[in-house]
């Protein structure tokens, strides 16, 4: 692979930092991608990843690689590891540039550091795009400094020395990095430069690698917030309201509950009543015994039907069709969805007079630190926030809800707390992916599509986690939409149509219903792309074209054409299938990456009507192929896992997983009745193809497969049934469970091994 338009074979600036052993920081000034020769859409000029790179650059010199006397290289990662594998990818970059064994690299998670400003934001598939240059440069400087130190000690030319396996070698001599680390240190910060390796020289990057935390994960040794042994931090839970963000009116028996076995404290909060006890089981018994009267929350009375009606009324009118053209018009509804990860909301807090210390999985720890300080009436400098690895996120950990609440409870009780939300509370009172409606009009004439318009309307998405500050701080450098609102900026920096359909317009309207929302995986893209790809299929049918050939004819992006062609070839597009079984294909180009998904779905009666215990029956995706080009794949094995996860997200969003909103609260209260993709509807045959490197920098990947997977399943369903679906998930109207009671908010804990925990 030749060096492309990104990091070429040139020297980059950095700093040798004062420390007992060698420490290297980096100066990074990489800017946004160059504009396309014909850039009709903002996202193609400057996307969310470019914004995060721009915001991170000024403080990248504060993030350092340090070499210890034991020969290890340590790096405090200013991003959150929530299962996506970035600790492994960063360790691979350091190992690559330093010629160091991977097991000699230690990547930890950085505490909240206010001086990093926007350099501690994990989201939008931007982490590796932001870190690739700075981490490589710092590691390359460390390697060159170690070589120079050995050359000075041996009185030889540094150009005659090489590095291998964590040591400097040459002239029959060998010195480990550990033996050189102290001598390589500096007493004052010094500006230096270094030359990272060429991509052709990579021996670690690009090779399938097992995650560095894999063994701990499968053996149960991996530590999350609830595993931490913070002195005197006892289990704590909260009794919550029957509507989203309802408030406490009164508590009738707080003293009696405080006297229950094991209970140490009861504290009234704005949105609940907290109990602290010796065990979580005792906390559950206590919160269920509380007698609480509630005031309704801000969306009390709202339901699926009322919200959907408001969204439809808010959809702007689509424009008229060009003269002598015909149109395809369609409207799609996407229901509320849960972004509750496998690990429930949790945090540990120890608040003392004049100080606070908090441990939690946080994707914007600086924002959490500020919010905790505000809630407690402290200065930011008095709040210490530790970032703990998370058991998933789906966008949930962009918001510090559990950390702020734990700090408030600790202050009220005057004791350390180990707060865990119940699964029911995580689903009902946690954040949700907004409901939305997308209205599309595409006009065509002869063999050409002459215009495309998509009006997307959503309930309000919360960007309260500091993303807006990042936009306002860098507004002068953003070439589009400088004066627009935060949601508008995010929408237009993440959404574009890859098809050259003439004048293309995509707009966002948000209505200010105060649901607790968040930036669930891929934010707007799954719904926007699903609506678009269904209309593309309809256009192809109206114009008598094969769906793959039609897409290819209107693409001018080489990456997208390549992944589409590979998917069609490897997925045996067009093969003969029984009636009721069909293929679907969809594309997404985002994060400077490209993805095509091809699926086969079985909608025959014997499949749709098969009995499923405690589940929702319906169609099943039987084969799935994901083809992905991320420019430079750092760890193809990790990328493969990310694509499979995104595929299953998309299948769930298309077929089974949604929240049923009734009177201001979801009916779902557990994973038992929130139907994410289960074993009975996971494709028996799934394959991921990672394309060879097409650039010398990585694009984004973490969320990339979600949107085309949802869209491909929807397109396959339309072809199998002859009816284009317009509401998602397709089986939303089926309520296949008995809702848990709204009060008490948490079900009884299990009493034996046969009960199911919620």
pLDDT tens, position by position, 396-419: 999 999 999 999 999 999 999 999
Phi, psi of 95 (to 5 degrees): -60, -40
SS3 323: coil
Phi-psi domain of 618 (left: phi exceeds 0; alpha: psi -120 through 50; beta: other): left
Alpha carbon distance 78, 121 (integer Å)? 8
* Secondary structure of 579-639 as H, E, C letters: CCEEEEEEEEEECCEEEEEEEEEECCHHHHCCCCCCCCCCCEEEEEEEEEECECCCCHHHH
Output DSSP code: residue 599. E
pLDDT tens, position by position, 585-610: 999 999 899 999 999 999 999 999 98
Alpha carbon distance 323, 333 (integer Å)? 29
Fold that domain 12-214 belongs to in CATH: Aldehyde Oxidoreductase; domain 4 (3.30.365)
Alpha carbon distance 286, 293 (integer Å)? 16
What is the model's pLDDT at position 108? 96
CA distances 369 to 226, 233, 376, 410, 566, Å, are 20, 20, 11, 15, 46
Output DSSP code: residue 748. P
Among residues 736, 734, 82, 674, which one has the least CA distance to residue 428? 674
From the number of C-beta atoms within 10 Å of its C-beta (0-12, 13-18, 19+), residue 749 rates as middle
What is the model's pLDDT at position 752? 61
Q: Which two tokens stand for residue 56?
A: 């991170």
Please calculate the CA angle 588-430-471 and round it to the nearest 5 degrees: 55
**pLDDT exceeds cutoff 90 at 518:** no
What is the model's pLDDT at position 478? 58
Query: For 361-376, what is the mean pLDDT?
Result: 95
Q: What is the largest CA-CA distance in the chain?
A: 82
**R_g of the chain computed on alpha carbons:** 27
Do 597 and 577 contact (CB within 8 A), yes or no?
no
Query: For 115-144, what is the mean pLDDT?
Result: 90
User: Which residues face 613 on adjacent strands?
Assistant: none
From the number of C-beta atoms within 10 Å of its C-beta (0-12, 13-18, 19+), residue 309 rates as exposed
Average of per-residue pLDDT values in the chain: 91
Q: Which residue's entry shows tokens 């500096």? A: 186
CA distances 552 to 82, 384, 527, 691, Å, are 36, 53, 22, 18
What length does the chain have?
A: 758
Phi-psi domain of 585 (left: phi exceeds 0; alpha: psi -120 through 50; beta: other): beta
**pLDDT exceeds cutoff 50 at 565:** yes
Among residues 122, 345, 109, 107, which one has the least CA distance to residue 226? 345
Do 167 and 149 contact (CB within 8 A), yes or no?
no
Provide CATH code, domain 306-337+432-728.
3.30.365.10
Output DSSP code: residue 743. S
Query: For 664-685, what is the mean pLDDT?
Result: 92
Query: For 659-667, what is the mean pLDDT?
Result: 97
Q: Which two tokens stand for residue 238?
A: 């909260």
Alpha carbon distance 724, 722 (integer Å)? 7
Phi, psi of 708 (to 5 degrees): -65, -25
Q: Which two tokens stand for residue 567?
A: 């998917």
From the number of C-beta atoms within 10 Å of its C-beta (0-12, 13-18, 19+), residue 324 rates as exposed
Global confidence as pTM: 0.93
What dihedral do alpha carbons 589, 494, 34, 31 form, nearest 10°? Answer: -130
Query: For 651-670, what is the mean pLDDT?
Result: 96
Beta strands 346-352 and 355-360, pairing class: antiparallel
Provide CATH code, domain 225-298+345-420.
3.30.365.10
Query: For 687-706, what is the mean pLDDT?
Result: 94
Q: Element (H or E) spanning 624, and its range?
A: strand 620-629
Task: Kindly report the number of other CB atoms within 10 A of residue 684's CB atom.
Answer: 9
List the beta strands (DSSP E) in 480-570.
Answer: 504-511
What is the model's pLDDT at position 468? 61
Alpha carbon distance 310, 418 (integer Å)? 40
% of the chain surpassing 90 pLDDT: 75
pLDDT tens, position by position, 332-365: 999 999 988 989 999 999 999 999 999 999 999 9
C-alpha 664 chain-centroid distance: 27
Domain with CATH 3.30.365.10 in the chain: 12-214, 225-298+345-420, 306-337+432-728
| 50: confidence class by pLDDT, cuts 50, 70, 90 | confident
Alpha carbon distance 193, 261 (integer Å)? 64
What is the model's pLDDT at position 36? 41
Among residues 405, 641, 397, which one has the least CA distance to residue 519? 397
């Amino acid at each position: 692979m030749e060096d492309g338009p990104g990091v070429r074979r040139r020297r980059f600036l950095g700093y040798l930092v004062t420390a007992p052993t060698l420490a290297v920081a980096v100066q990074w000034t990489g800017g946004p991608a160059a504009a396309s020769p014909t850039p009709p859409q903002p996202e193609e000029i400057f996307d969310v990843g470019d914004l995060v790179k721009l915001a991170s650059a000024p403080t990248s010199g504060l993030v350092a690689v340090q070499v210890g006397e034991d020969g290890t290289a340590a790096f405090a990662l200013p991003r959150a590891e929530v299962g996506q594998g970035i600790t492994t990818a960063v360790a691979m970059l350091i190992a690559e540039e330093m010629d160091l064994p991977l097991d000699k690299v230690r990547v930890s998670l950085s505490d909240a550091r206010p001086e990093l400003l926007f350099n501690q934001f994990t989201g939008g598939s931007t982490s590796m795009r932001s870190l690739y240059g700075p981490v490589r440069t710092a590691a390359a400087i460390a390697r060159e400094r170690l070589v120079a130190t050995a050359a000075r000690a041996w009185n030889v030319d540094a150009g005659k020395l090489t590095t291998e396996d964590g040591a400097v070698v040459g002239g029959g001599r060998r010195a480990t990095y550990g033996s050189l680390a102290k001598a390589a240190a500096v007493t004052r910060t010094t500006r230096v430069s270094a030359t990272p390796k060429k991509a052709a020289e990579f021996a670690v990057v690009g090779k399938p690698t097992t995650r560095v935390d894999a063994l701990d994960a499968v053996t149960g040794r991996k530590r999350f917030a609830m595993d931490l042994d913070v002195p005197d931090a006892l289990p704590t839970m909260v009794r919550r309201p029957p509507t989203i963000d309802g408030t406490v009116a009164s508590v009738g028996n707080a003293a009696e509950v405080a006297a229950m076995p094991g209970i140490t404290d009861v504290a009234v909060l704005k949105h609940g009543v907290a109990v602290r006890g010796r065990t979580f089981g005792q906390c559950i018994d206590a919160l269920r015994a509380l007698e609480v009267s509630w005031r309704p929350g801000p969306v009390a009375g709202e339901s699926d039907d009322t919200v959907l009606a408001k969204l439809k009324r808010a959809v702007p009118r689509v424009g008229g069709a060009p003269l002598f053209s015909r149109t395809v018009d369609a409207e799609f509804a996407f229901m509320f969805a849960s972004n509750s990860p496998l690990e429930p909301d949790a945090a540990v807090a120890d608040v003392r007079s004049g100080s606070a210390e908090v441990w939690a999985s946080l994707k914007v720890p600086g924002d959490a630190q500020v919010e905790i300080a505000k809630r407690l009436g402290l200065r930011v400098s008095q709040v210490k926030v530790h970032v703990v690895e998370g058991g998933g996120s789906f966008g949930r950990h962009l918001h510090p809800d559990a950390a702020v609440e734990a700090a408030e409870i600790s202050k009220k009780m005057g004791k350390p707390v180990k707060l865990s939300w119940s699964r029911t509370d995580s689903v009902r009172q946690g954040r949700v992916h907004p409901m939305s409606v997308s209205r599309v009009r595409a006009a065509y004439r002869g063999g050409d599509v002459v215009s495309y318009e998509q009006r997307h309307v959503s309930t309000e998405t919360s960007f309260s986690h500091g993303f807006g500050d990042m936009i306002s701080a860098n507004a002068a450098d953003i070439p589009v939409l400088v004066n627009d609102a935060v949601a508008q900026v995010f929408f237009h920096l993440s959404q574009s149509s890859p098809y050259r359909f003439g004048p293309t317009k995509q707009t966002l309207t948000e209505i200010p219903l105060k649901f607790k929302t968040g930036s669930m995986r891929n934010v707007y893209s799954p719904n926007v792309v699903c609506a678009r790809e269904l209309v593309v299929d309809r256009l192809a049918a109206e114009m008598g074209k094969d769906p793959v050939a039609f897409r290819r004819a209107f693409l001018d992006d080489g990456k997208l054409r390549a992944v589409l062609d590979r998917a069609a070839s490897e997925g045996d597009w067009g093969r003969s299938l029984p009636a009721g079984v069909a293929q679907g294909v969809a594309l997404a180009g985002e994060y400077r990456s490209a993805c095509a998904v091809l699926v086969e779905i079985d909608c025959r009666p014997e499949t749709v009507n098969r009995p499923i215990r405690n589940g929702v029956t319906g169609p099943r995706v039987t084969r799935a192929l994901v083809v992905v080009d991320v420019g430079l794949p750092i760890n193809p094995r990790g990328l493969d896992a990310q694509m499979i996860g995104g595929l299953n997200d998309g299948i769930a969003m298309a077929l089974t997983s949604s929240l049923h909103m009734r009177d201001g609260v979801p009916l779902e209260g557990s994973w038992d009745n929130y139907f994410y993709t289960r074993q009975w509807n996971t494709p028996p045959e799934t394959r991921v193809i990672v394309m060879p490197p097409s650039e010398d920098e990585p694009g984004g990947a973490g969320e990339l497969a979600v949107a085309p997977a949802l869209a491909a399943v929807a397109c396959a369903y339309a072809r199998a049934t002859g009816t284009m679906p317009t509401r998602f998930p397709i089986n939303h109207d089926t309520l296949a469970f008995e809702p848990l009671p709204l009060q008490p908010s948490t079900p009884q804990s299990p009493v034996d091994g046969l009960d199911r925990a919620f």
